[in-house]
Amino acid sequence: MNKSRISKNWIRKQHKDVFVRKSKVFGYRSRAIYKIEEINNKFRIFNNNSFVVDLGAAPGSWSQYLKKIITKGKILSIDLKEIEKIDGVHFLQGDFTDIKNQEKIREYFGKKLDVVISDMAVNTTGNKELDSMLTGELCIEAMNFAKKLLKPNGFFISKFFMGSISKEIITIAKKNFQVINIFKPKASRSYSKENFIIGKFLKKYDK
């Protein structure tokens, strides 16, 4: 299929998509909001005091959702791309994998976090296996970071794409967390290999 046919199909699907329509009505920046909402409804993750970092936050619907729930806690979001300001959300533009940015995140909170969420994904190349590998590496990096920053009963939530790297992600998650769930929200398109890993209760805790 040529590029213009692909993008016409994409536009047609967006118009039909109930989550796209709903996000517009409620003023959310992306249909992705309904993924984190469903994850939270199922796993009961956030409360009004939560300290949360949102990795790969642009255009910002997950942070908009967090802000509605977290009234007394702290939210920091980071992305390579700029986002329109969200009151009460501290935004950092840059590469999460850069150690200097990870240090800035640690300094901002000044104490251990309740939740690390990551919706980071690389720009798709069209090669599904390569996309899965590259986004999977971001998931592993986020998990390594979460291991150092989370409270003992903290949550780690991250997007990944099913592929040859999934096994490695799940193995590392099992080493780090006592409870692991793999979950595909209804808002995640059925034809996509997207899934979310949810880890809870660190196995080892560094003060």
Ligand X SMILES: C[S@@+](CC[C@H](N)C(=O)[O-])C[C@H]1O[C@@H](n2cnc3c(N)ncnc32)[C@H](O)[C@@H]1O
Residues that bind ligand X (CB under 6 A): 29-30, 32, 56-62, 78-81, 95-97, 119-122, 138
Looking at beta carbons only, is 56 or 199 nearer to ligand X? Answer: 56
**What minimum distance in Å lies between the beta carbon of 202 and ligand X?**
23
Looking at beta carbons only, is 36 or 202 nearer to ligand X? Answer: 36
Phi and psi torsions of 120, nearest 5° = -60, 140
Q: Which of 76, 61, 41, 52 is nearest to 156 (CA)?
A: 52
Q: Which of 125, 144, 159, 164 is nearest to 206 (CA)?
A: 144
Instruction: For residue 35, give both structure tokens.
Output: 């993924």
**What minimum distance in Å lies between the beta carbon of 83 and ligand X?**
8
Q: Which of 111, 159, 174, 203 is catalytic?
A: 159
Looking at beta carbons only, is 29 or 74 nearer to ligand X? Answer: 29
Catalytic site includes residue 207: no
**First-last CA distance in the chain:** 54
DSSP H or E run through 103: helix 99-109
**What minimum distance in Å lies between the beta carbon of 133 and ligand X?**
14
Residues catalogued as catalytic = 159
